[in-house]
Amino acid sequence: MTHNRTWRGRSFLAMSLDGFIARPDGDVRWLESLPTDRGHVTTSAANPALVWETFFPDIDTLVMGRGTYEKVLTFGDWPFPGLTTLVLSSALDTDDGNIELVRTVDEATNRLSARGASEVYVDGGVTIRSFLRQGLIDELTVSIAPVILGDGLPLFGEGTPERSLRVRGSHVTDEGLVRITYDLV
């Protein structure tokens, strides 16, 4: 489906080397404890990938799925105060004033356009795949962690459309994350 839009869909996430963004139960704590003392060979590049500090300040709207929203609620204080946040869910029912519920990708895109969104952070595996299927992701920054989980929730999988990517930047962090920023072409 083609959408007439003026905003850019952008994602920024991490996954294990074998492609999982979380353990089977949704646990992402493995990302919090990546050691820096393993002697990872870090790199700097003339064109490094985006880091959170260069990615997030440009974001004016966030779209996440129900699973990501429920995980964020376990972090304590709401981490996105003042940021318009849409939660994509066909079943969630909440009166949380931090978010706006949308039921479909089409409803989300209409809301984004109506709000005049410009830089949209799309988060959560299912939501990212849904936006990819509709051609709504323009930029993808993936940090590949030096760990093999063996099982979990995949970033990509069945139903993910074939897409060509252009590498815009890359580097290796102190934690051994191989971070790559892609433009979808």
The pLDDT score that the predictor gives to residue 3 is 60
pTM comes to 0.91
CB neighbourhood size of 114 (10 A): 8
CB neighbourhood size of 74 (10 A): 8
Per residue of the chain (185 residues), what is the pLDDT tens digit?
Answer: 456 788 999 999 999 999 999 999 988 989 988 888 788 888 877 889 999 999 999 999 999 999 999 999 988 899 999 999 999 999 999 999 999 999 999 999 999 999 999 999 999 999 999 999 999 999 999 999 999 999 999 999 887 888 999 999 999 998 999 999 999 99
Q: Is 135:178 a contact under the CB 8 Å cutoff?
A: no
Which of these, 44, 47, 55, lies nearest to 13 by C-alpha position? Answer: 55
CA distance 177 to 50: 12
In sequence order, what DSSP letters do the residues of 42-108 get, joined into one string? Answer: -B--SSPPP-HHHHGGG--EEEEEHHHHHHHHTTSS-S-TTSEEEEE-SS-----TT-EEESSHHHH
Task: Map out the domains of the chain as residue ranges.
Answer: 8-17+46-184
The pLDDT score that the predictor gives to residue 16 is 96
- Topology of the domain covering 8-17+46-184: Dihydrofolate Reductase, subunit A (3.40.430)
CA distance 157 to 155: 7
Q: How many CA atoms lie within 13 A of 183 on its CB side?
A: 5
144 CB burial (10 A radius; 0-12, 13-18, 19+): middle
64 CB burial (10 A radius; 0-12, 13-18, 19+): buried
Q: What would the two tokens of residue 183 be?
A: 């433009």
